[in-house]
């Protein structure tokens, strides 16, 4: 039982790490191609660009949507 808890904890701590610039760029590019409602395609398209050591659920649909939302909030709108 302790093994399962440790594994769950490892996966839940992964998404709190910052995404690399490359990963963010791949995410934005994929959203431009697939749209911000098709997270299945976005997630699938950017998985090959993961940094070494990322957990398998790093580019989950939910995490991609969350990261994209955060990216929109922190990016300034061009004037």
Q: Are 8 and 37 in contact (CB under 8 A)?
A: no
pTM equals 0.75
Per-residue pLDDT, 77: 78
In the chain, what are the domain boundaries? Answer: 30-59
14-60 pLDDT, tens per residue?
A: 456 899 999 999 999 999 999 999 999 999 999 999 999 999 899 99
């Amino acid at each position: 039982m302790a093994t399962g808890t440790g594994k769950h904890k490892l996966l839940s701590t992964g998404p709190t790490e910052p995404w690399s610039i490359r990963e963010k760029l791949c995410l934005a590019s994929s959203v431009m191609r697939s749209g911000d409602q098709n997270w299945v395609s976005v997630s699938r398209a950017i998985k090959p660009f993961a940094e070494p050591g990322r957990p398998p659920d790093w580019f989950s649909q939910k995490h991609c949507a969350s990261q994209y939302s955060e990216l929109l909030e922190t990016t300034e709108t061009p004037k």
